[in-house]
Amino acid sequence: MSWLQELFCNEIKYVRFRESELIMSKRKDFDVIESVQDDNILGTVRRECLAPCSSPRKLGRSALSFFPIIDWLRDYNVKEYLLPDLIGGITTGVLHVPQGIAYALLSGVRPVNGLYMSFFAPLFYMIFGTSRQTSLGSFAVVALMTGVANEKIMASYYPSNSTVISILDDYSGYDINPISIAATLTFTVGLWQLAGAILKLEFLTLYFSSPMVSGFTTGAAVHVMSSQIDDIMGVKLNRTSGPGYLFVVIYRLAMKIPEMNLVTLVTSLIGGLFLILGKDYLRPAINRWCKMKIPIPYELIMMILATVASSCFHLHEVYSVLIVGTVPAGMPEPQLPEFSLIPDCLSPALAIAVVTIAVHISMAKMLAQRLDYTIDPGQEMYALGLTSSLSGLFPVFPNSTALGRTMVQLESGVRTQLSALFSCLFLLAVILFLGPFFETLPLCILSTVIVVALRPMFKKFKDLSGLWKVSRIDFAIWVVSFLATVCIDVIGGLGISVIFTLFTVVLRTQWPSWRSTISRPIVAENGKWIKRICVFEFDSFLLFTNSERFKLAAHETVRNWIDNIPSLRETDKMGFYFIFNCSAITQVDSSGLIAIRDVICEIQKKTMAVVYFVNARPKIKELLLTSKVAISEDDFFNTLQDFLSIMNIKKPINISVVDESE
The 10s digit of each residue's pLDDT in 461-489 is 988 988 998 888 999 999 999 999 999 88
pLDDT of 139 > 70? The answer is: yes
Cβ(544)–Cβ(595) below 8 Å: no
* Confidence category of residue 626, pLDDT binned at 50, 70, 90: confident
Please state, rounded to an integer, the average pLDDT across all residues of the chain: 82
CA distance 93 to 96: 5
Distance in angstroms (rounded) separating the CA atoms of residues 528 and 575: 9
Q: What is the dihedral of CA 637, 642, 647, 653, to 10 degrees?
A: 120
- For helices 140-157 and 490-510, give the axis angle rounded to 10 degrees: 120
- Strands 576-581 and 610-614 turn out to be parallel
Q: What is the pLDDT of residue 192?
A: 96
State mean pLDDT over 636-640.
87
CA-CA distance, 506 to 461, in Å (whole number)? 27
Task: Give the residue-averaged pLDDT of 191-210.
Answer: 87
- Using alpha carbons only, what angle is made at residue 155 by residues 152 and 161, rounded to the nearest 5 degrees? 135
CA distances from 605 to 13, 557, 568, 578, 610 (A): 13, 14, 11, 13, 11
Q: Is 608 left (phi over 0), alpha (psi -120 to 50) or beta?
A: left
Helices (H), 234-297: 245-255, 262-277, 283-289
Compute how many other C-beta atoms are within 10 angstroms of the C-beta atom of residue 17: 9
Could you tell me which residues come within 8 angstroms of residue 285 by beta carbon, excluding any fewer than 6 positions away?
A: none
- According to the model, what pLDDT value does residue 520 have? 63
Longest dimension (CA), the chain: 106
Taking 50 as the threshold, does the pLDDT of residue 554 lie above it? yes
**pLDDT classification of 273: cutoffs 50, 70, 90:** very high
Burial zone of 162 (CB within 10 Å; 0-12 exposed, 13-18 middle, 19+ buried): middle
Read off the pLDDT of each residue in 527-535 and give the average, rounded to a whole number.
66
For range 608-632, the mean pLDDT: 87
pLDDT exceeds cutoff 50 at 537: yes
What pLDDT, in 10s, does the model give residues 581-596? 998 888 898 889 999 9
Rounded CA separation 36/33 (Å): 10
Phi, psi torsion values for 31, nearest 5 degrees: -105, 130
**What's the chain's length in residues?**
662
Q: What is the mean pLDDT of residues 55-64?
A: 69
Q: What percent of the chain is modeled with pLDDT above 70?
A: 82
Instruction: Check residue 37 and give its pLDDT.
Output: 47
In this predicted structure, the answer to whether residue 342 has a pLDDT above a threshold of 80 is yes
Which of the pair, 70 or 238, is modelled with greater confidence?
Answer: 70
Q: What is the mean pLDDT of residues 67-79?
A: 90
Higher pLDDT: 7 or 167? It is 167
Nearest to 495 by CA among 347, 360, 341: 347
CA–CA distance, 4 with 249 (Å, rounded to integer)? 76
Q: Which domains does the chain have, with CATH numbers?
A: 80-159+175-507 (no CATH), 511-661 (3.30.750.24)
Q: Please name the residues in contact with 46: beta carbons below 8 A apart, sequence gap of 6 or more.
A: none
Name the CA radius of gyration of the chain, rounded. 32
DSSP 46: I
pLDDT of residue 632: 81
pLDDT above 90: percentage of residues in the chain: 32
Distance CA 265, CA 284 (A): 28
In sequence order, the 6+-apart residues with CB closer than 8 A to the CB of 72 are 132, 416, 417
Tens digits of residue pLDDT in 377-430 = 889 999 999 999 999 999 999 999 988 888 888 877 889 999 999 999 999 999
Encode burial over 294-328: b for 16+ CB neighbours within 10 A, e otherwise: ebebbbbebbbebbebbeeeebbeebebbbbbebe
Is pLDDT at 527 greater than 60 in this prediction? Answer: no
Q: Pairing mode, if any, of strands 136-137 and 400-401?
A: antiparallel
What is the mean pLDDT of the segment spanning 169-197? 86
Q: Taking residues 236-246, what's their average pLDDT? A: 77
Q: What is the rounded distance in angstroms from the CA atom of residue 367 to the CA atom of residue 130?
A: 11
The rounded distance, in Å, linking the Cα atoms of 22 and 574 is 13
**pLDDT, mean of residues 642-652:** 65
Residue 80 host element (H or E): helix 78-107
Among 170-179, 360-369, 385-394, 642-651, the range scoring the smallest mean pLDDT is 642-651
C-alpha to C-alpha distances, 430 to 11, 40, 220, 439, nearest whole angstrom: 88, 51, 30, 13
Alpha-carbon gap, residue 92 to 86, rounded angstroms: 10
- The closest alpha carbon to 296, from 276, 278, 308, 280, belongs to 278
Whether 207 shows a pLDDT value over 50: the answer reads: yes
Q: Tell me the average pLDDT across 295-321.
A: 89
pLDDT of res. 42 = 53
On the question of pLDDT at 580 being above 60, the answer is yes
DSSP string for 108-156:
TS-HHHHHHHHHHHHHHHHHH---SS--EE--HHHHHHHHHHHHHHHHH
* Model pLDDT, residue 652: 43
Give the model's pLDDT for residue 653. 45
pLDDT in tens, 274-287: 999 998 888 888 87
> How far is it, in rounded angstroms, from Cα 463 to Cα 605?
51
Q: What is the pTM of this model?
A: 0.75
Instruction: Report helix, strand or coil for 180.
Output: helix
The number of helix segments (H) and strand segments (E) in the chain equals 27, 9
Q: At residue 634, what is the residue type?
A: D
User: What's the CA gap between 299 and 447, in Å, rounded?
Assistant: 11
Q: What is the pLDDT of residue 277?
A: 93
